[in-house]
Structure 1
Amino acid sequence: MFGGGGMNPRKMKQMMKQMGIDVSEIDAEEVIIRTADEELVFSDAQVTQMDAQGQQTYQIVGEPESRALGPGDTAGASGARSEDTVDVDAAGEAGGEADGEEIPDSDVEIVATRAGASEEEAREALEAENGDLASAISRLE
């Protein structure tokens, strides 16, 4: 992550804590990433959750099994959704702006703060970049 080379893992964890980054392991039984035409199913995957300044990032380590989706299969076929479920589109980006969903206020606030712009400018940049935070920030800088 930081290219620590031969850095002591305890020292690396201490540095991350000083920077406000909290890392924890998740005891996941199965992880499913659903794209437009397939599912990637990770059984016995090692999942790490990183919380940095309110942004949560998940790292999945393991070998996925690829399953093709049939014509009747949809992203919500199971009916049940966990609070921690993240939809990932075919490009691998979390979100759903293409579905017409509104941009979350938290994203607008992040872009406005990082780019030093008004919330209105941040919202416009996010809409222009289909909800991509990094692209919206770059557009405003």
Structure 2
Amino acid sequence: MFGGGGGGLNPRKMKQMMEQMGIDMEDIDAEEVIIRTDEEELVFTDAEVQLMEAQGQKTYQIVGEPESRALGSGDSGGESEDGSDDSGESAGAVDDQDVEIVAQRAGVSEDAAREALEANDGDLAAAVSQLEQ
């Protein structure tokens, strides 16, 4: 790629060249990386993650072998970093929009709505019915 010849560049020389081009690289000490698609989750444990920033744009590189899991079957509980539930299918985790709907329909607090949804495995109708009794 760079340098032609036999073995390419050593890592220190490569880093110097990237800095000259305005590219910053940083290793990230990640414990787990999850890529969630419509059909599955790709879970990388003990992956090597590098952040490369160039011209204000960040690019993450993940090196490792992922485990493929069906949505809702993983240990992540379906929660993203901000604590919101992305899938709505995970056991014990409910979607924030569903909580709002149940709270409005049943005229209860969001905490009560969340508890009812969790007790009814995310079934909106059953949660509202339980709260109206």
Q: TM-score range by the shorter chain?
A: 0.5 to 0.7
Q: Deviations over 1:73-128 (max 9, x none)?
A: 9xx9316428xxxx9xxxxxxxxxxxxxxxxxxxxxxxxxxxxxxxxxxxxxxxxx
Name which of 55, 63, 69 aligns with 1:67: 69
Tell me the TM-score normalised to structure 2 length: 0.52
For 2:16, give the aligned amino acid.
Answer: Q
C-alpha spacing 1:20/1:46, structure 2 compared with 1 (3 Å): same
CA–CA distance in 1 between the matches of 2:66 and 2:9?
A: 30
CA–CA distance in 1 between the matches of 2:21 and 2:80?
A: 39
Aligned position for 1:139: none
Alignment of 1:1-141 (within 5 A): 3-4=1-2, 6-70=8-72, 77-78=78-79, 80-81=81-82
CA–CA distance in 1 between the matches of 2:81 and 2:11?
A: 38
SS at match of 1:12: helix
Which structure has the greater CA radius of gyration? 2
Q: Give the number of the structure with larger relative contact order, counting CA–CA contacts within 8 Å between residues 6 or more apart.
A: 1
For 1:10, give the aligned amino acid.
Answer: R
Q: Deviations over 1:1-44 (max 9, x none)?
A: xx235112211110100010000000000000000010000000
Tell me the TM-score normalised to structure 1 length: 0.50
Give ranges in structure 2 of 5+ residues lacking alignment: 87-133
C-alpha spacing 1:79/1:15, structure 2 compared with 1 (3 Å): closer
For 1:60, give the aligned amino acid.
Answer: I
C-alpha spacing 1:79/1:24, structure 2 compared with 1 (3 Å): closer
SS at match of 1:63: coil
Question: In angstroms, what is the RMSD of aligned CA positions?
Answer: 2.8
How many residue pairs end up in the alignment?
Answer: 79
Identity in percent = 71
